[in-house]
A = this chain, B = another copy of it.
Amino acid sequence: MEAAAESIQASSIGAGTDMQTIPGATVDLGRLTRCGFGEVIYGEGKSTDLMTQIVQTQVAVGQGCLITRIDATAAAQLRRVFDNTRYNPSARTLRIGCGDENLDPIGIEGHSTHVAVVTAGSTDAHVAEEAAETLSWMGVACERIDDIGVAGPQRLLAAVPRLRAAAAIVVVAGMEGALPAALAGHVATPVIAVPASTGYGANFAGLTPLMGMLTSCAANVAVVNIDAGFKGGYFAGLIASGIANAKTEAASSEEA
């Protein structure tokens, strides 16, 4: 049994343990190694100073950043400090690159897998935008399909062929919590449902669509937090990039 501690250190703790302490934060510098993608900063409630310091720590080791829930004023301040940035006011996301990487990979050739990001209604758009920005930051192409909730069911039916072409589907729905279940029955791909707090009355700030999505009969639906466009996009991006990597690896090994 004595060997346990050794083996733990050797195999698991070794990967991605870099970190740096600054006043008020312990910055994780190992995410890229450990998780495949760099750090993401939740901007809500953080001062511009703190965000700037965290980003500087990442940039110093050659990594970019995605900041979510950041308002236009704070974003403008950070954009004065850093290069290669992109702010999406609807999504309230700020992407900060490093080097000369292309920030918007949508439409880049060679991407044979992509994610569909769908809304039930047009008021769900800001959550979908957060998902789309996250996917772009991950280098995963995405297609936006808007406003195909079940109240006008022919809209979903018309979109089915495009939905079937995606590697994963993010569905944002608030007032129309039924869409993920209704959509999922038409496709074989994983569907990540994002409940939105848009709506009134018994929507209860997104709790009702959240619960409805969880109890859906469709087996290919998993759920993330209310309004969590970032998480929906990230999770779908992991699936899509996993498939892309598999293709690349298989192709490479065949070549070899």
Contact = CB atoms under 8 A, between A and B. Distances in A.
A159 to B, nearest CB: 8
A12 B218 contact: no
B123 A189 contact: no
The count of identical subunits is 8
Interface stretch (A44-52, A73-81, A99-107): A44-52
Q: Which of A35, A149, A151, A199 has the most CB of B within 10 A?
A: A151
Interface bin, chain A? 35 or more
Given A26-B146, A212-B212, 7 more contacts: A2-B18, A13-B13, A150-B181, A176-B216, A202-B211, A219-B234, A239-B242
A220 to B, nearest CB: 6
A182 B218 CA distance: 14
Contacts of A123: 42, 44-46
Contacts of A42: 121, 123, 175, 217
A183 B73 CA distance: 36
A146 B16 CA distance: 19
Contact of A223 (B19, B214, B244, B253): B214
A17 interface: yes
Given A222-B223, A243-B242, A217 B151 contact: yes
Nearest to A28: B152
A178 B182 contact: yes
Interface of A: 1-2, 4-5, 7-9, 11-21, 24-31, 34-37, 40, 42, 44-46, 50, 69, 113, 120-123, 125, 146-155, 157-161, 164, 167, 175-178, 181-182, 184-190, 192, 195, 197-204, 206-212, 214-228, 230-231, 234-235, 238-239, 242-244, 246-251, 253-255
A222 B120 CA distance: 20
23 contacts: A4-B17, A4-B18, A5-B9, A5-B13, A5-B14, A15-B164, A19-B152, A19-B158, A26-B155, A28-B151, A28-B155, A30-B152, A35-B219, A42-B121, A175-B215, A178-B216, A190-B239, A197-B201, A201-B215, A214-B225, A214-B226, A219-B230, A222-B222
